[in-house]
Amino acid sequence: MPRPFRFGVNLLTPAPAAEWRAKCRRAEELGYDVILVPDHLGMTAPFPALVAAAEATERPRLGTFVLNAGFWNPALLAREVATTDALTGGRLELGLGTGYVQTEHEAAGLPYGSPRERVDRLRHTVAELDRLLGSPEHQPRPAQDRVPVLIGANGDRMLRLTAEHADIAAFTGARPGKTPGSLDPLGAGELDERVARYRALAADRPAPAELNLLVQQVAVADDPEPALRPLLERQPRLTLDDALALPIVLAGPLEDVVAKVRAQRERFGFSYVTVLEPSMEAFAPVLARLREEESA
d(CA 241, CA 238): 8
With a pLDDT cut of 70, the percent of the chain lying above it is: 99
Residue type for 251, please?
A: A
pLDDT at residue number 140: 98
Question: Does 179 score more than 80 pLDDT?
Answer: no
CATH topology classification for 6-295: TIM Barrel (3.20.20)
Give the list of residues 6+ apart from residue 100 with CB closer than 8 angstroms, or none.
176, 181, 183
39-43 mean pLDDT: 96
Burial 234-253 (b: 16+ CB within 10 A, else e): ebeebeeeebbebbbbbbbe
Of all residues in the chain, the percent with pLDDT exceeding 90 is 95
Cα Rg of the chain (Å, integer):
19
pLDDT, tens digit (0-9, with 9 covering 90-100), for 204-217: 999 999 999 999 99
Q: With contact defined as beta carbons under 8 Å apart, do 10 and 50 qualify?
A: no
Residue 76 has pLDDT above 90, yes or no: yes
Quote the CA–CA distance of 94 and 47 in Å, as a whole number. Answer: 10
Would you list the DSSP string of 68-85?
A: EGGG--HHHHHHHHHHHH
Please give the DSSP secondary-structure letter assigned to residue 33: S
pTM above 0.85, yes or no: yes
- Once rounded to an integer, what is the mean pLDDT over residues 25-50? 98
The reported pLDDT for the residue numbered 177 is 75
